[in-house]
Amino acid sequence: MEDFEFLRNVTIGQYFRGDSVVHRMDPRAKITVLIILAIVNSLTQSVSGNALMLALCIAFVFLSGISIRFMLSGIRPALPIILLFAMMQLFFYGDAYPPYGVVPETYWQWGMMSVTNGSIQLVVVTLMRFLQIYLLVSLLTGTSTTTQLAYAIESMLEPFQRFRIPAQEISLVGTIALRFVPIFAEQMEIIMKAQASRGADFGSGGVFHFVRRTRQMATLIVPLFVDAFRRAEDLITAMDARCYTGGRGRTRMVRFRMVARDYAVLGAIVLFGCLMVVFRNDFPI
């Protein structure tokens, strides 16, 4: 039967109260670490290099005290599509990528499809890359409040303000978007329950009954949109009532300060990143 507990599946974007080293780190430092590791991630092709990166990400998660099992459970809804992509890479990318570090070998071939050690490597590396980014992003949103994130984005975009980049507005948009994810998940749950109470049956018809499933979705999407517009209007009124006129010249109640530990972590990550990039071709396999 249907399970209406949506928040169980939305682990990304969810904040987990805590007082770990990761929680206390300056949000700007966290974002910078994320950016550096994302760049390194996209430049590392080898299995062993990615394994090293993945180990680092898992170590971060352990430091944060958030259960890694719970964090990974958020992938479950996306598993079918991930598997589909993995299959396509495995069978159709056989000749597209020469394997890293070993002599190309073809194990199986049939028409357009082939499995080579290059495509196997590609699948493994892609999955590891995905996991790294997923864990890092979950960790960022899981250990920083929206206020911290907004502050970080705003203060990191500040230097670009002279090029007319509206730093404050961008961070506001980001904050609102993040803030509304759990609200909409909750609203969706309520609407789904209300429709189920009057006879709707979600999840029936199987994966291939597109039309029926789309019709079922209409009973959710329409009320959800109506609600979203209503909330947007409420938000506008609330901002107007507080005399919000845009970001220029606004001051903050809480200001963050980078401490020695933040600089130390940043330095270490930059060093690690540089080494990874410089020696990216020296990894075995």
Partner 1 sequence: MSDVGQPVIQVNDLHHVYLRGTPLEVKALNGVTLEVRPGEAVGIIGRSGAGKSTLVQHFNGLIRCRERGRVIVTGHDMADPSVNVRLIRQRVGLVFQHPEQQLFERLVGDDIAFGPKKLGLPPAERRERVRWAMEMVGLDFERFKDRFTFSLSGGERRKVAIAGVLALQPQVLVMDEATTGIDPSGRKEILDRIVGLRKAYGVTLVIVSSNMEEVASLVDRLYVLEDGRTVLSGTPREVFAHPDRLMGYGLGVPAVSAVANDLLKHGVPIPRTPLTVTEAVEDLWRILSSSGT
Q: How many angstroms separate the CA atoms of 213 and 201, rounded?
A: 10
Indicate the residue among 41 and 143 with the shorter CB distance to partner 1. 143
The DSSP-derived string for 196-212 is HHTT--TTTT-TT-HHH
19 binding partner 1? (CB under 8 A): no
Beta bridge partners of 108: 115
Which residue in 38, 196, 228, 285 binds partner 1 (CB under 8 A)?
196
Q: How many angstroms separate the CA atoms of 83 and 79, rounded?
A: 6
Q: How many angstroms separate the CA atoms of 221 and 214, rounded?
A: 10
Are residues 220 and 195 in contact, defined by beta-carbon separation less than 8 angstroms? yes
The torsion defined by the Cα of 130, 133, 137 and 139, in degrees rounded to 10, comes to 100
Indicate the residue among 66 and 140 with the shorter CB distance to partner 1. 66
What are the structure tokens assigned to 143, written together?
A: 């250990």
194 binding partner 1? (CB under 8 A): yes
8 binding partner 1? (CB under 8 A): yes
Q: How many angstroms separate the CA atoms of 252 and 150, rounded?
A: 11
| Least distance (Å) between residue 78 CB and partner 1 | 18
14 binding partner 1? (CB under 8 A): yes
Indicate the residue among 201 and 240 with the shorter CB distance to partner 1. 201
Tell me, residue by residue from 123 to 152, as one string, x for binding to partner 1 by CB under 8 A and - for no binding: ------------------------------
183 binding partner 1? (CB under 8 A): no
Are residues 273 and 53 in contact, defined by beta-carbon separation less than 8 angstroms? no
For partner 1 (CB under 8 A), the number of binding residues is 31
76 binding partner 1? (CB under 8 A): no
The DSSP-derived string for 21-69 is HHHHS-HHHHHHHHHHHHHHHHH--SHHHHHHHHHHHHHHHHHHT--HH
DSSP 107: E
4 binding partner 1? (CB under 8 A): yes
| Least distance (Å) between residue 16 CB and partner 1 | 5
DSSP 93: -
Indicate the residue among 18 and 101 with the shorter CB distance to partner 1. 18
251 binding partner 1? (CB under 8 A): no
Tell me, residue by residue from 86 to 125, as one string, x for binding to partner 1 by CB under 8 A and - for no binding: ----------------------------------------
Residues 209-228 binding partner 1 (CB under 8 A) are 218-223, 226-227
82 binding partner 1? (CB under 8 A): no
Contacting positions for partner 1 (CB under 8 A): 1, 4-5, 7-8, 14, 16, 66-67, 70, 73, 187, 190-191, 193-201, 218-223, 226-227
